[in-house]
Structure 1
């Protein structure tokens, strides 16, 4: 039995938001993942017609998935032609029922505050062993490796403190650091975890850029990979899933408008249940 996971930074309300939302919804419906982890999920109380707008809820409705979300990073943003008070938070969509969730506050810098991790406890094959999903968006500040490490440590400490005994822990998100950074290469070592990095399938390193280079402001970082999916398990524990394949998704522009779903590509990792 396969279990597919997608992570995507949805780019708040930038660009042609409604067109992008349609592309994201169409893409996720076609992929039919079991788990989706979102960052920069835009939400505002009024879209200009008196109706609320919410990326995570819209995508959950489009895909028929369960959803939990955290409305973080509240500020004024330009939405279409209007300035609106909005949030840009985290969300988790799941094909299986979400039993509960919690939000973990992460260490921050005054220049880049309001950072969290969202944890969802999801119904598993074994009622006594749920699946845990964790999504986060680490600091974007330059030369802030120590801060990002502290943020990741806080997220992993929170996972370790959960009362549940999970069958698997999937961690994903926009980590704002490269695949060769110490945070990525040593992930789990400080916490006694076995880590499967979705970019390392067997003996192959399949990492790829996750920022859309066709967008002008991304030209200088066209080769950068900052969006990740990991499978975490206790050291020495028998694995419940094994990584099958990884691919970049939601990375094609609309043929009519040349609009991309986001300024990030999505990442999709497929895992197989270990009998």
Structure 2
């Protein structure tokens, strides 16, 4: 009996023992599948960040070629002209090449222009980005060895919005005739040198020189605000006093009673009166020869004319 019960017991546990390895394999497979899916999801989430970090770490193509940098090495600052080999090398490179992608993002933002004046060698040949107000807009072209005019360039003179002493000369290779004076522009270009010039008061000033293709953005000037008219208080007070004086004189004249001319009398009697003599003289005969009716004296008479009665 005991052996039979053991046999039955072994037969009952036989199928369960045979299916245990299969269950364990399925559980292990499910665990591996879950781990694989988790790793895949994590890689998908991290991939954009890794791509962004890689793009940020990768240098952008904004550096000048070695030949241009070599020409810039001979540049002299604080001269009254910028006609130097380094300037022409940068101008030729900007004109003949396409602007790199995200050039304005890679350019170094310079808010304080005094850094360019203090360290021109540090910024020479580097892409920088500035913002200023247009004070002058002109264009010019150079002649080649054969005397023919080359492509024109546009020269913008910018002043610092912060009121700094340094100006900035921007040479643009693309047309800029429609940029008005007073407009605020944001521009990215290559820094070349610091030059000197004479201002309107014949004083020596400094200006940074950039070569760029075109502005990034242009902000047109708004309508000029009406300035309040300033009146000098001295002139206003004088005009008010004069008006009061005139009004006082007019009021005094209007307050007097009208005078009858018949009541006017002289303050002093005349020293000699000729009224009586004039009256006696006016009653005498008039001056001149006597009339014929009054001529009673005999004497020769004037003979009558041929047509007069005798």
TM-score range, shorter chain: under 0.3
Q: Which has the higher helix share?
A: 2
Larger relative contact order (C-alpha < 8 A, sep ≥ 6)? 1
TM-score, L = length of structure 1:
0.21
Q: Which has the higher strand share?
A: 1
TM-score, L = length of structure 2:
0.19
